[in-house]
Chain A
């Protein structure tokens, strides 16, 4: 079973349905017991970093996520959920993240082509970094996924597994061992997105380094 962590941020209906569509049972839950007993964890999130980080802390689920990640459980952060995996964010002040993957969240305003719009919203192609990550086993480089964000991961170094070109190679996905995250929304990225979720569901614990 997959636990989609419900900490009062955003609408998790589509995400739950997307797992159902690929034949995997997912529970939307804020119950630490259920999360601990799940095979895999998904950390979703939309909105502002500070608000989400605060809610995660207030519910005590930040500790649950960190402990489960440390035990080697497969964890996937999506959109703001991916951003929360990093060390900190500069979105409206400086805020601590979970620190599971090195890196910082900063505005894309300083790096992209000034003619481009913010947010980076729409379908963009993935460029893989390094060896193709198992999360992408069902898709090809150049496949399109759906993004909506104004902030992105920087200084994630070798943990970047895919970028998207927006006049700058924006961090599209990160991974470090059993912890991974996508800046884009796989649950809104059509068939390609479903294949990414399927790869996550069928990945074996302990096979990643």
Chain B
């Protein structure tokens, strides 16, 4: 049975993880490589690095840390942030990314998803969408949630999946940061609209929120979160254990010595 995936997401600026915090045994809490290793050993099923750098120098540093992570961590690696062209896909894939997440880049250039899917395969292209209710309508936001595009979200997601997006990350801006649970209503609408894997993001405040998510919506494949993992509020191995206890398929990483 395929397991439900748990995915920590790390924002990286100038080669450093933003919001890094103190874990026991971690020498450098802002080191993407160390954090990636830590999460991998604690049972993360996949990692997302989000490049929030604006400068060329920052971008170079990002490529360096990506390469260094790929050298040391052997679970799937998704990279997002500043992906606007096929050259951007190429750049991060060469550094060891397995999947590339597009958000504003696809909104600016809707052909990007199709072009990338044809060149690298559907499984490589992840559509990431920031969604907020506007007068009861699920609406797509661009530029990290700063700009209302006026587009209806479900039809946008459906269109990108038809173009070849192999996976969808749905980030609910309505529940993001509130820590009262994932946006079940929004995620249900997405699951009913597409048949590719759906990753829930925004709203996780504790283990119970993941349990509710997977029990209520069997169509959701993965849960993504940032701060609750970074701040140590939820440990991934505890979360996985709780999932198993609730009958949700989860991959437990046995601590082994080589």
Contacts and interface: CB of A to CB of B under 8 A. Distances in A.
Contacts of A117: 195-197, 221
Interface in A165-209: 165-166, 187-191, 193-195
A47 B221 contact: no
Nearest to A23: B258
Interface residues of A, number: 35
A46 B96 CA distance: 14
Residue of B40, B71, B196, B197 ringed by the most chain A CB atoms within 10 A: B71
Contacts of A136: none
A39 B20 CA distance: 44
Contacts of A119: 122-123, 166
Contact of A124 (B2, B70, B123): B2
B56 interface: no
Interface in A2-51: 11, 13-14, 17-18, 20-22, 46-48
Interface of B: 1-3, 5, 40, 45, 67, 70-72, 74-76, 93-96, 98, 121-123, 166-167, 195-197, 221-222, 251, 253, 256, 258
A46 B121 contact: yes
19 contacts: A13-B96, A14-B70, A14-B98, A17-B74, A47-B121, A116-B2, A117-B196, A119-B166, A121-B167, A122-B2, A122-B197, A122-B221, A122-B222, A123-B3, A124-B1, A124-B3, A148-B123, A190-B75, A193-B74
A120 B2 CA distance: 8
A190 B77 CA distance: 12
B74 A166 contact: no
Contact of B74 (A14, A123, A165): A14
Interface of A: 11, 13-14, 17-18, 20-22, 46-48, 116-125, 144, 146-148, 165-166, 187-191, 193-195
Contacts of A124: 1-3
A55 to B, nearest CB: 15
Given A22-B258, A123-B5, 12 more contacts: A11-B96, A14-B70, A17-B70, A48-B121, A119-B123, A121-B123, A122-B3, A122-B5, A123-B45, A147-B2, A148-B123, A189-B74
Contacts of B74: 14, 17-18, 21, 187-191, 193-194
A120 B76 CA distance: 15
B166 A191 contact: no
Contacts of B166: 119, 121
Contacts of A146: 75-76
A166 B2 contact: yes
B74 to A, nearest CB: 5
Contacts of B94: 11, 13
A206 B158 CA distance: 53
B256 to A, nearest CB: 6
Of the listed residues B75, B93, B253, the one surrounded by the most CB atoms of chain A closer than 10 A to its CB is B75
Contacts of B3: 122-124, 144
A117 B199 CA distance: 13
